[in-house]
């Protein structure tokens, strides 16, 4: 089943690439500082016919040749986290197939092995170790979700393998791992920065004065809450409710009721999709009308838009990745997404997967080698521009904190901040009663 | 005061959802001795069917019950004939073996559901699921209200059936006295098959009801199964009233206790209540 | 099957123990030590579970609670205070035993399936308590330092540790089997009412079995957390683990310690094999189908008596 699907995707991408080839051949150009590029590719709109402008001294090759470079990863393809794990895998596969249509990595073809950890972190760890020690992969890519990624970070570190992933929130980057990169990370602690930056642009009397917060009782929720506590303090907003809840949530009404009764005009729900939906519905059912609603990570999955739609309107959230980001190479992902899913809005985790893969590839190309230490060295001393923007990594493997502001409008999570990436303006306060 | 009324209202609605899921499970156990771990997976499939009736043909999931209920009834009866009867012939006391058997079935069903419908979580949206209704000082969402009505209807019909029809009373006899029932001329095989059919039918209805409140995906059956276990241990096996009361208690305990203690501890109060009840009445609330 | 003599069995156990301990020196790869760890962990826990579940017929569906208690005890003591799980896992075992002691009395008043379900609910309650304990930060995840710097040394230490735990479980189980406790438990399994009228102190014996079973499970859990670089509460207290433990013991047969061991080895290795060769979709379907088949045709497990058609056999109380 997996091989069949992979073949279909490969064929589709080859056909797409043939279509793209009409517009220009690929050349290796040095990365311009402002425009993000992907390793070994040219943005389709800049060339029209084949150019002789190439920085490489090799004769133009038909494609990659030589011993394949093998990349391994363990992802949840079945079980609780399968819906997202599948998108990450698609992102990895799409990039590998893209490289193989072009110059490969270091001129060599790339092979991808994805193992299914069935949403079990223990399996995620042992499968990664198997990939490294038994299958002898040259490179590894990150797992999902954060718990599995955090556990895998330790394994990769022990084996001295570069590990590019979402990370396991701030704690995972404070373990002294040298080989890990969050490129970008899904950092709960940074999640609402975009929102609080936005609040600062508002006149003081328009800002909310008090906040009510409910948090899912697990590592993701805890990380988001940690960041929110300091954001609230810095913004001078009083926290009047700070409740935790275990998943699965049976009913959000008691918590939303409590928030409403506290009179808070900023409502923060550090939730996932199932509990997020219950919460939003409770807000509407109970008639709670805060000036703004902040929601956790539920907006990251396609179901938020496809299933909840405009019921979730006006909800703010954060993200490290978005299909409307104005970086040139995102166009490539839109095309891949169209082939794979029939939509030019790539799923966010597909974009994450592609970005992690691309970052690793740039490290490899930059270092000119698959030597893990060389890759680490290169990644930590160069700016890396990929689908999520241009990032510089510190000793811990983290870029500068950032988070885009997203707001659901007409059922679609839109990029509303910061200024340089805004697609539409944010709507604040929520126009209740209109 | 409004806080309390709101908590009571929400608690009742949540409790009814637990109850409608639990009654079929409890009845299966009572009538056939089978602890059907696939019960909630059947409910999830019911939710999927209702969802797609809406998505593909614009039929409201509640209306789709007209098709789902009879279909699931037949499945349940077939399930009994194909799997439960052979099992009962092999082992005298079915208990643990049935858990393993039905768990295997649940896993297989889950895999198929994922293959057919994908793992992406779903949500049912109709005109009334986003509406808000006022009940005195309390407010409820349309979805929860309709789910509550479905639950009441299902539970009510089930109760009426068991009290007032020959077959219903035969089933109750079967639960009380499995050996004796056969001696009084009850066709045990047919009665058991029908009991299981009805259990599956209620599972399908429960799935649709729950889908009006909760999101669902193939793996949701696990958490629904835990709710079900809770309600049946508390309420008793083979009883409609016991399970319903247990469901209501469960819902109310959580919503009311969260008025005074942190929400995360409300679940513990529920577990505490369960353990207390069991110390006094090991077979659950209902008289056995 | 003719039972081997007492002395023979002990010699056999000792031989296997030595063999297992020395196996890594034959040049086991990191991965195979990792697989062996998983097998031995489940074997240990299945044997421990069986002391209550198999010998007395009280099948607990909440044993992951004890795994979790042991796991978090060692994890927190290691990450906060640098104490080695080789020592602290015994504390974890004690805590697990304590919890079993507290919940045992109300739970063991229930029989058969009721007991199964209530233990499941109790394990949920335990997980809620542990996750919400103030100051321990269980909910936000705990990073556990690795036993050693190199992968080989790490896997070796973990392997030997879990092998030791496994050995302890087998030895304890076997001693119980042959003791007054074991005979009493068997009587309870056959017919508890009759046993009680014959003067068997059923409550005391059941409690003893429950507490010992929990302690050994906690011990194994303590080593499990050491093998994970990161602990997520949802994973440590999962219902899936509880159910799997039951299935392993059931699969192998429940009357002696050998049954769960075989069940654990066969099922765990089988699952590894399935994962890798067939792919998870098909593996899950196969696994589910396997459960169905095993139950229909071998309800007593691999080494138990096979039911003869037409003759009724009792499986469990």
- CATH number, domain of A197, equals 3.40.50.2300
Number of domains present in the structure of chain A = 2
% of chain A beyond a pLDDT of 70: 85
Q: Which domain holds residue A197?
A: 190-323+403-421
pLDDT at A37 over 70: no
Q: Distance, in angstroms, between C188 CA and closest chain A CA?
A: 37
Q: Which of A80, A251, A284 is nearest residue B130 as measured by Cβ atoms?
A: A284
pLDDT at A56 over 60: no
- Do residue A313 and residue A409 come from a single domain? yes
pLDDT at C1 over 60: no
Domain for residue A352, yes or no? yes
Question: Within an 8 Å CB–CB cutoff, is residue B223 touching chain A?
Answer: yes
- The interface predicted TM-score (ipTM) is 0.92
Residue of C nearest to B236 (CA): C114
Q: Hey, how many other C-beta atoms are within 10 angstroms of the C-beta on B101?
A: 28
More confident residue, A174 or C306: A174
Domain for residue B261, yes or no? no
Q: Does the beta-carbon distance from A115 to C276 stay under 8 Å?
A: yes
More confident residue, C266 or B67: B67
Domain for residue A273, yes or no? yes
* Banded pLDDT at C238 (limits 50, 70, 90): confident
* Banded pLDDT at C4 (limits 50, 70, 90): low
- Write down the domain spans for chain C: 28-238
Q: Distance, in angstroms, between C107 CA and closest chain B CA?
A: 8
pTM exceeding the 0.90 threshold for the entire prediction: no
Query: How far is it, in rounded angstroms, from Cα B235 to Cα A95?
Result: 55
pLDDT of residue C305: 56
- Return residues 98-117 of C near B (CB < 8 Å): 103, 106-107, 109-110, 112-114, 116-117
% of chain C beyond a pLDDT of 70: 88
More confident residue, C293 or C209: C209
Q: Which domain holds residue B158?
A: 19-239
pLDDT of residue C298: 66
Task: Over range B163-187, report the average pLDDT.
Answer: 80
- Residue pairs spanning A and C at CB distance below 8 A: 107
pLDDT of residue A62: 61
Dihedral-angle region of residue A268 (phi above 0 means left; psi in -120 to 50 means alpha; beta otherwise) = beta
Q: Are strands A139-141 and A163-165 parallel, antiparallel or unpaired?
A: parallel
Number of domains present in the structure of chain B = 1
Question: Within an 8 Å CB–CB cutoff, is residue C235 touching chain A?
Answer: yes
* Banded pLDDT at A8 (limits 50, 70, 90): very low
> Interface of chain A against chain C, CB under 8 Å?
1-2, 77-79, 115-116, 118, 120-123, 125-127, 129-130, 133-134, 147, 150-151, 153-155, 158-159, 168-169, 171-172, 175, 217-219, 221-223, 226, 244, 246-247
Task: Over range A21-40, report the average pLDDT.
Answer: 35
Neighboring chain A residues of B259 at a CB cutoff of 8 Å: 254
Domain for residue B252, yes or no? no
Question: Which of B11, B47, B214, B260 to probe by mutation at the A interface, max A CB count within 10 Å?
Answer: B214
- Residue pairs spanning B and C at CB distance below 8 A: 135
- Do residue A33 and residue A141 come from a single domain? yes
- Do residue A343 and residue A204 come from a single domain? no
* Banded pLDDT at A36 (limits 50, 70, 90): very low
Q: Does the beta-carbon distance from A274 to B141 stay under 8 Å?
A: no
Angle at Cα A73 formed by Cα A67 and Cα A78, nearest 5°?
135
Domain for residue A430, yes or no? no
> Cis omega before residue A199 (within 30°)?
no
pLDDT of residue C303: 61
pLDDT of residue B189: 87
pLDDT of residue A389: 87
| Token output for A397 | 């493997």
What are the tens digits of pLDDT across the range A260-315?
A: 999 999 999 999 999 999 999 999 999 999 999 999 999 999 999 999 999 999 99
What are the tens digits of pLDDT across the range C202-211?
A: 999 999 999 9
Question: Which of A75, A88, A145, A281 to probe by mutation at the B interface, max B CB count within 10 Å?
Answer: A281
- Do residue A165 and residue A19 come from a single domain? yes
Average pLDDT of chain B, as a whole number: 90
What are the tens digits of pLDDT across the range C9-29?
A: 889 889 888 988 888 888 888
Domain for residue B113, yes or no? yes
Q: Which of A1, A115, A154 is nearest residue C146 as measured by Cβ atoms?
A: A154
Query: How far is it, in rounded angstroms, from Cα B104 to Cα B121?
Result: 23
């Amino acid at each position: 089943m997996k091989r069949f699907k992979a073949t279909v995707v490969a064929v589709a991408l080859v056909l797409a690439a043939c279509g793209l080839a009409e517009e220009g051949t690929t050349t290796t150009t040095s990365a311009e500082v402002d425009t993000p590029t992907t390793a070994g590719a040219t943005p389709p709109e800049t060339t029209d016919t084949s150019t002789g402008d190439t920085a490489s001294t090799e004769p133009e090759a038909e494609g990659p040749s030589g011993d394949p470079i093998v990349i391994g990863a363990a992802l949840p393809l079945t079980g609780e986290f399968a819906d997202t794990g599948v998108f990450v895998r698609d992102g990895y596969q799409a990039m590998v197939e893209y490289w193989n249509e072009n110059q490969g990595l270091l001129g060599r073809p790339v092979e991808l092995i994805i193992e299914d950890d069935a949403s079990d972190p223990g399996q995620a760890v042992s499968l990664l170790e198997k990939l490294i020690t038994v299958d002898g992969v040259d490179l590894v890519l990150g797992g999902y979700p954060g718990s599995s990624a955090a556990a895998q970070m330790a394994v990769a570190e022990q084996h001295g393998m570069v590990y590019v992933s979402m990370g396991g929130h701030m704690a995972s980057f404070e373990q002294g791992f040298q080989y890990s990169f969050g490129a970008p990370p899904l950092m709960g602690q940074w999640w609402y920065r975009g929102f609080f930056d936005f609040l600062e642009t508002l006149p003081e009397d328009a800002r909310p004065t008090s906040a009510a917060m409910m948090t899912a009782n697990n590592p993701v929720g805890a990380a988001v809450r940690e960041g929110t506590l300091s954001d609230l303090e810095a913004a001078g907003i009083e926290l009047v409710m700070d409740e935790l809840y275990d998943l699965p949530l049976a009913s959000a009404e008691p918590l939303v009721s409590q928030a409403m009764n506290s009179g808070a005009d900023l409502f923060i729900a550090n939730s996932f999709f199932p509990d997020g939906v219950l919460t939003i519905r409770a807000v509407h059912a109970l008639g709670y009308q805060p000036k703004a609603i902040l929601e956790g990570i539920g907006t990251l999955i396609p179901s938020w838009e496809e299933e909840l739609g405009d019921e979730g309107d006006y909800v703010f959230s954060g993200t490290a990745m978005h299909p409307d980001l104005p970086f040139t190479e995102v166009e490539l992902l839109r095309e891949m997404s169209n082939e794979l899913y029939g939509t030019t809005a790539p799923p966010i985790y597909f974009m994450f997967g592609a970005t992690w893969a691309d970052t690793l590839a740039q490290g490899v190309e930059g270092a000119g080698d698959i030597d893990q230490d060389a890759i680490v060295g290169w990644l930590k001393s160069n700016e890396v521009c990929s689908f999520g923007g241009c990032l510089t990594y510190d000793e811990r493997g983290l870029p500068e904190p950032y988070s885009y502001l997203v707001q659901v409008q007409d059922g679609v999570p839109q990029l509303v901040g910061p200024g340089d990436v805004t697609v539409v303006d944010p709507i604040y306060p929520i126009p209740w009663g209109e | 005061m409004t806080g309390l009324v709101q908590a009571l209202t929400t608690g009742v609605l949540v409790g009814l959802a637990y109850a409608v899921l639990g009654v079929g499970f409890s009845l299966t156990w009572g009538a056939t001795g089978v602890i059907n771990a696939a019960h909630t997976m059947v409910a999830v499939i019911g939710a999927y069917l209702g969802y797609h009736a809406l998505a593909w043909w614009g039929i409201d999931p509640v209306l789709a019950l007209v098709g789902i209920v009879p279909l699931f009834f037949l499945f349940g009866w077939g399930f009994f004939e194909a799997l439960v009867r052979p099992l009962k012939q092999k082992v005298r006391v079915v208990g643990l073996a049935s858990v393993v058997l039905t768990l295997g079935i649940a896993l297989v069903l889950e895999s198929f559901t994922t293959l057919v419908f994908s793992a992406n979580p779903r949500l049912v949206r109709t005109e009334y699921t986003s509406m808000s209704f006022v009940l005195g000082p309390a407010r409820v969402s349309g979805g929860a209200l309709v789910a509550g009505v479905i639950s009441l209807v299902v539970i009510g019909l089930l109760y009426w059936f068991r009290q007032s029809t020959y077959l219903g009373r035969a089933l109750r006899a079967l639960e009380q006295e499995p050996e004796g029932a056969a001696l009084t001329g009850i066709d045990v095989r047919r009665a058991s098959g029908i009991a299981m059919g009805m259990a599956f039918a209620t599972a399908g209805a429960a799935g649709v009801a729950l889908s009006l409140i909760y999101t669902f995906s193939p793996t949701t059956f696990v958490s629904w199964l835990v709710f079900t276990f809770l309600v049946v241990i508390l309420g008793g096996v083979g009883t409609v009233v016991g399970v319903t009361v247990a469901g209501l208690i469960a819902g109310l305990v959580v919503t009311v206790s969260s008025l005074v203690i942190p929400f995360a501890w409300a679940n513990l109060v529920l577990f505490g209540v369960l353990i207390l009840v069991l110390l006094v009445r090991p077979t659950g609330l209902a008289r056995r | 099957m003719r039972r081997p003599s007492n002395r023979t069995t002990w010699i056999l156990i000792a031989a296997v123990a030595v063999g297992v301990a020395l196996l890594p020196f034959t040049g086991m790869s990191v991965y195979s030590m990792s697989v062996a760890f998983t097998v031995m962990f489940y074997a240990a826990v299945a044997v421990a579970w069986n002391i209550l579940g198999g010998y007395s017929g009280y099948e607990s569906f909440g044993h992951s609670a004890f795994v979790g208690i042991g796991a978090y005890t060692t994890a927190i003591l290691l990450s906060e205070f640098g104490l080695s799980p080789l020592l602290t896992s015994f504390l974890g075992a004690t805590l697990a035993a304590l919890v079993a002691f507290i919940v045992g009395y109300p739970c063991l008043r229930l029989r058969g399936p009721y007991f199964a379900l209530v233990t499941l609910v109790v394990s949920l309650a335990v997980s809620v308590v542990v996750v919400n304990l103030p100051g321990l930060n269980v909910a936000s995840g705990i990073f556990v330092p690795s036993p050693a710097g190199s992968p080989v040394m790490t896997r070796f230490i973990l392997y030997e540790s879990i092998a030791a735990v496994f050995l302890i479980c087998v030895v304890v189980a076997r001693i119980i089997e042959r003791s007054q406790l074991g005979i009493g438990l068997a009587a309870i399994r056959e017919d508890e009412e009759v046993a009680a009228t014959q003067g068997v102190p059923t409550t005391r014996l059941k409690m003893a079995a429950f507490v010992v079973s929990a302690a050994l499970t906690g011990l194994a859990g303590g080593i499990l957390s050491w093998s994970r670089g990161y602990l997520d509460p949802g994973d440590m207290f999962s219902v899936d683990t509880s159910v799997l433990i039951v299935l392993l013991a059931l699969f192998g047969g429940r009357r002696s310690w050998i049954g769960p061991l075989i069940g654990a080895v066969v099922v765990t290795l089988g699952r590894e094999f399935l994962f890798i060769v067939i792919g998870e979709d098909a593996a899950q379907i196969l696994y589910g189908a396997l459960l169905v088949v095993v139950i229909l045709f071998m309800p007593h497990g691999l080494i138990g008596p096979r039911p003869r058609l037409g003759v009724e056999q009792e499986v469990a109380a």
